[in-house]
Amino acid sequence: MAHHADEAARPRRFSAASALRGAIRVPGDKSISHRALMLSALCVGESRISGLLEGEDVLATAAAMRAMGATIKRGDDGVWTVHGVGVGGLMQPEQALDMGNSGTSTRLLMGLVASHPITAMFTGDASLSRRPMARVTDPLGEMGAEFGASPGGTLPLMVRGLQPAVPITYRLPVASAQVKSAILLAALNTPGTTTVIEPIPTRDHSERMLAGFGAPLTVETDPDGVRHISITGPCDLRAQDIIVPGDPSSAAFFIVAALIVPGSDLVIENVGMNVTRSGIVTVLEQMGGQIERLNERTVGGEPVADLRVRASALKGIAVDPAIVPSMVDEFPVFFIAAAMAQGTTVTSGLDELRVKESDRLATMARGLEAIGVVVEEREDGLVITGSGGAMLPGGGPVATLLDHRIAMSFAVAGLVSTSGVEVDDTRPIATSFPDFLALLDQVRGAGL
């Protein structure tokens, strides 16, 4: 995986851009790519996946599924074929599963292993090894899996699965699609009905895709809006052909860039518009951003559109905490939009950002201060006083703490800075968006 200590950091200064123009495609959705590989590997027969995100995180999932018996190949045409082992057919991996920087791979794969009679060792890079795993090991432990974790409940972590596992009903104490998904994946090979109760809706890619693969899944919403998601196992999955929509989290960097760089008019094609993920678009529109949805369609059960984004005068807002789960990964770049808006933007309910690849609230606050933005850090959010459209002073180097989204966010900030913004290391960007720097250069070139 990347980020080996012996590799030199790759700093880069991002300087002011004239209008961003043209049409681009962002990589495939990371959440859907992980799930497509995992579920295909649990089918009997051949699945084909087009548009898979080929970043390091997703490749870690592919390597883990291979290690547990699936045959996974990438064709010269970019289409991936997966021959699965069937639910219940996962094999004992011979080596530790290296998750790199991928929290999604780790938590979801722990769910898969939990209901198979195998033992797997999960390792990861320094950043991933600081992230909390108890939120997943607690419910999976109730199902009968055993865990040997490092002190503090982190990686490296050993999972010993149980077959047959025990079905549970589990109410999510924290809004987490990863915890929900881990339990549902464990349920596939567990006799009886397992139910996840979700008080606050989170991204629903797992439910959509499980249903698409033929899992016996039901979703009921009670009068209070609480979702009860159930799977009755053990069950068989049917091989599928999957087209992965463009990742809205990756699109967000270019949406914000086109909104804040004067004169921009940019089309971002094939963006996933799942309502549990598109909060960033809603909030930017509330600020006055011009984002037009073109060619709206449904692909593989997921809504997709092309987005035309034009430079806009943004106004500060108070972001409704209820929308946080649908844009939790987009706050770093949203803070850049807020820095360019007129007036003050207030965010709250962002405690979850403190346990991402870095403490994203603290890291963003320090970086914003370093480039001349007026920001106040609170326990659960940031308060940002915008420039009213005036260029940001710039500066740096900004410490990204090996966090891909923070690196890309400050690259966007550099486009509207007087002296440029220096990012201390661009290597982590490859975890989610390998083509980011090339695409940025392309749309800047089109605007010259």
Delimit the domains of the chain by residue range.
12-28+245-446, 30-243
Cβ contacts of residue 37 below 8 Å, gap of 6+?
A: 49, 52, 58, 61, 62, 65, 72, 80, 82
Q: Are 219 and 25 in contact (CB under 8 A)?
A: no
The 10s digit of each residue's pLDDT in 354-374 is 887 779 999 999 999 999 999
Cis peptide before 151 (omega within 30 of 0): no
CA distances from 164 to 116, 145, 181 (A): 8, 10, 19
Annotated ligand binding at 48? The verdict is no
Is 35 assigned to a binding site? yes
Which three-class secondary structure state does DSSP give residue 210? helix
Q: Does 181 carry a binding-site annotation?
A: no
Q: What is the pLDDT of residues 16-58, one digit of tens each?
A: 999 999 999 999 999 999 999 999 999 999 999 999 999 899 9
- Does domain 12-28+245-446 match CATH 3.65.10.10? yes
Q: Are 176 and 182 in contact (CB under 8 A)?
A: no
Is 176 annotated among the ligand-binding residues?
A: yes
Contact 140, 186 (CB under 8 A): yes
CB atoms within 10 A of CB 410: 30
12-28+245-446 and 30-243, same CATH topology: yes
- Per mean pLDDT, which range of 284-288, 355-359, 419-423 is the poorest? 355-359
d(CA 35, CA 255): 25
329 catalytic residue (yes or no)? yes
Averaged confidence pLDDT in the chain: 94
Kindly state the percentage of the chain with pLDDT values over 90. Answer: 88
Catalytic one among 247, 306, 329, 424?
A: 329
Q: Could you tell me how many helices (H) and strands (E) the chain has, helices first?
A: 12, 22
pLDDT at 431: 82
For residue 344, list its beta bridge partners: 385
Per the annotation, does 290 bind a ligand?
A: no
Please say whether the structural domain 30-243 has been given the CATH code 3.65.10.10: yes
Residue 308, annotated as binding a ligand: no
Q: What is the DSSP-derived secondary structure letter of residue 130?
A: G
**For the residues of 351-362, what is the DSSP string, one character each?**
GGGGGSSS-HHH
Inter-residue contact 186 to 194 (CB < 8 Å): yes
Helix, strand, coil percentages, rounded to 5, for the chain: 35, 25, 40
